[in-house]
Structure 1
Amino acid sequence: MGRTVAILIARLIFAGAFAMAAAFKFAGMADTAAYIAAAGFPVPLLLAWLAAIFEVGLVLAFLTGAFFSEAALLAAAYVIFLAFAFHGPSHWQGNQAEFGFFVDHFTFLAGLLFAAVHGPGERLTARNGLLWKDQAASAR
């Protein structure tokens, strides 16, 4: 029971983090695009919209458990990309807090990788995906 509760709480935390990120993007798409442009990326408004939509997809995967491991791996790659693109070493001189933001992304990465390997749990889970297999079905 404790394992199930821990897994469900972790899934809610992942979903909540990406839901907040998406909500902030949707609420201030122009500000998000300006932040992306300041980092030197082309077509910032398009990238802002794609990021927000991607984050909504991650939220759905974490809440339902569908394609959970795949979503966790994609989220891990996304989080590390964000760490280097927006908080990497080139940002540390101007603001030392950026180093803390950078390191925090690696903590998030560790959780996402752990989640990808262990799957969405056995409760409240849509049992489909390419990487994670239903343990009960495998045992039959």
Structure 2
Amino acid sequence: MGRTIAILVARLIFAGVFALAASFKFAGMEATAAYIAAAGFPFPLFLAWVAAIFEVALVLAFLTGAFFSEAALLAAVYVIFLAFVFHGPSHWQGNQAEFGFFVDHFTFLAGLLFAAVHGPGERLALRKGFIWTQTAASAR
């Protein structure tokens, strides 16, 4: 029972983090686009929308358990990309807090990788995906 609760809470935390990120993007799409443009990316408004929609897809995967491992892996790549682009070494000299933000992304990465390997748990999880196998389910 404790394992099930821990997994469900972790899934809710993952979903909550990405839901907040998406809601901030939707609430201030122009500001998000400006932030993306400041990092030097082309088509910042388009990329802001892509990021928001991607984050909504992650929320759905974490809440339902469908394509959970795939979502966790994609989220891991996304989180590390964000760490380097928006909080990486080039930002540290101007603001030491950026180093803390950068490191925080790695703790999130660790959780996402752990989740990707262990899957969505046995309860309240749609078992759909490309990575999810019977072998992975029996390893639990």
Provide Cα deviations, 1:8-52, integer angstroms capped at 9, x if missing partner: 000000000000000000000000000000011110000000000
Which residue number in structure 2 is paired with residue 52 of structure 1? 52
Which residue number in structure 1 is paired with residue 96 of structure 2? 96
Contact 1:127/1:134 (8 A) holds in 2: no
Q: Equivalents in 2 of 1:63, 1:95: separation in Å?
A: 35
Contact 2:118/2:136 (8 A) holds in 1: no
Task: Give the C-alpha shift of residue 132 in structure 1.
Answer: 1.5
Q: Equivalents in 1 of 2:23, 2:11: separation in Å?
A: 18
Which residue number in structure 1 is paired with residue 133 of structure 2? 133
Q: Equivalents in 2 of 1:94, 1:135: separation in Å?
A: 49
SS in structure 2 of the partner of residue 102 of structure 1: helix
Aligned length, in residue pairs: 139
Amino acid paired to 1:71: A
Report the RMSD for the aligned CA atoms in angstroms. 1.5
Amino acid paired to 1:133: T
Provide Cα deviations, 1:61-100, integer angstroms capped at 9, x if missing partner: 0000000000000000000000000000000011000000
Q: Which runs of 5+ in 1 are unaligned?
A: none
1:48-127 residue pairs with structure 2 within 5 A? Answer: 48-127=48-127
Tell me if 1:17 matches 2:17. Answer: yes
Task: Give the C-alpha shift of residue 133 in structure 1.
Answer: 2.2
Contact 1:87/1:102 (8 A) holds in 2: yes
TM-score by length of 2: 0.96
Percentage of identical aligned residues: 85
Q: Equivalents in 1 of 2:134, 2:61: separation in Å?
A: 16
Q: Equivalents in 1 of 2:84, 2:51: separation in Å?
A: 16
SS in structure 1 of the partner of residue 133 of structure 2: coil
Q: Equivalents in 1 of 2:136, 2:27: separation in Å?
A: 42
Contact 1:22/1:55 (8 A) holds in 2: yes
Q: Equivalents in 2 of 1:73, 1:137: separation in Å?
A: 18
Which residue number in structure 2 is paired with residue 27 of structure 1? 27
